[in-house]
Amino acid sequence: MVLKIGLVGCGAIGAEIARAIDSGEISGELVAVFDHNVERAEELASSLEVRPILSELEDLVERSDIVVEAASQKAVPEVAKAALERGRDLMIMSVGALLDRSLLRMVEDLAEENGSRVYLPSGAISGLDGLKSAGAGRIDLVTLTTTKNPKGFLGAPYIEEMKIDLDAIKEPQVIFEGTAEEAVVAFPANVNVAATLSLTARGARVMVKIVADPDAEVNIHQITAEGDFGRIITRVENVPSPRNPKTSYLAALSAIATLRSIAEPVKIGT
């Protein structure tokens, strides 16, 4: 059976996913795309060999086996409800939205009631396999230190609220420290990975430090997890997406790898 994929969000990640389906790297059919920026959706659809239709959310869900959210945290409630109420599977990239407990409960309940599966790719970080295993025991603390070029933080609510002048940063500077819950609200387009860590660590405390480094050419996510299992330390130096410096290329690749594994009969890894 060919997996019918509906894509919400035609930006950096959405475009990579669409191309991977178009080239046959993911064995599936991109049946429909939706973006509130209609021009962006049109541009993506017309760049593909097999052109998906441009549709509104409800219609996209109707046509899909799996709905892929690659839009924004704000899009998640509506997309999740539309997909899960119709029993469709769902992949969420804007994972930060799920640190809102009532939304997480809604997603879990609707998925269970309607027999849907919800996929949260590992995104721009590594080490979730070990953290998932560790969560079967006790995890005491997880820390995430994210370093990006200041231009990657442009437009973040925290930067605007605190009136931080990103152009004035001339050396590496810690611009934020807080919990994962605080971080995903303050920087919704930068540290969704904090939410993925938090959900994987099954409620263990996840503390986030964000560093703006004017010399940074890569997006670095360094993770330390400690518990009765010992300690895990991982660090990824991510190539930023050329279309969106906030987003690392690895995040798009993790979405592609997740879709591939859904479409394939043999599953590898934790």
Ligand X SMILES: O=C([O-])CC(=O)C(=O)O
Ligand Y SMILES: NC(=O)C1=CN([C@@H]2O[C@H](COP(=O)(O)OP(=O)(O)OC[C@H]3O[C@@H](n4cnc5c(N)ncnc54)[C@H](OP(=O)(O)O)[C@@H]3O)[C@@H](O)[C@H]2O)C=CC1
Q: Which residues are catalytic?
A: 221
* CB 124, min distance to ligand X, A: 3
Q: Could you say whether residue 47 binds ligand Y (CB under 6 A)?
A: no
Q: Could you say whether residue 248 binds ligand X (CB under 6 A)?
A: yes
Closest by alpha carbon to 13, among 95, 101, 134? 95
Could you give the CA distance from residue 200 to residue 8 in angstroms, rounded to a whole number? Answer: 24
Q: Could you say whether residue 238 binds ligand Y (CB under 6 A)?
A: no
Alpha carbon of 262 to those of 3, 99, 220, 252: distances in Å? 9, 25, 28, 16
Contact with ligand Y (CB under 6 A) among 3, 6, 9, 127: 9
Binding mask 108-147 for ligand X (x = CB under 6 A): ---------------xx-----------------------
From 22-30, 114-122, 132-140, 188-196, give the range in contact with ligand X by CB under 6 A.
188-196
Site residues for ligand Y, window 55-94 (CB under 6 A)?
70-75, 93-94
From 19-27, 126-134, 191-199, 224-232, give the range in contact with ligand X by CB under 6 A.
191-199
Q: Are 196 and 181 in contact (CB under 8 A)?
A: no
* CB 237, min distance to ligand Y, A: 15
Decide which of ligand Y, ligand X, none touches 191; Cβ closer than 5 to 8 Å per partner kind: ligand X
Backbone φ/ψ region at 9: left (φ over 0), alpha (ψ -120 to 50), beta? left
Give the total of residues touching ligand Y (CB under 6 A). 30
Strands ordered across the beta sheet of 53-54: 53-54, 28-34, 3-8, 66-69, 89-92, 118-119
Decide which of ligand X, ligand Y, none touches 238; Cβ closer than 5 to 8 Å per partner kind: ligand X
Decide which of ligand Y, ligand X, none touches 9; Cβ closer than 5 to 8 Å per partner kind: ligand Y
Q: Could you say whether residue 173 binds ligand Y (CB under 6 A)?
A: no
**Phi/psi of residue 82, each to 5°?**
-60, -45
Site residues for ligand X, window 11-70 (CB under 6 A)?
none
Q: Could you say whether residue 123 binds ligand Y (CB under 6 A)?
A: yes
Contacting residues toward ligand Y, per CB under 6 A: 8-14, 35-37, 40, 70-75, 93-95, 123-124, 189, 192-193, 196, 243-244, 247, 251
Contacting residues toward ligand X, per CB under 6 A: 123-124, 189-193, 219, 238, 246-248, 251
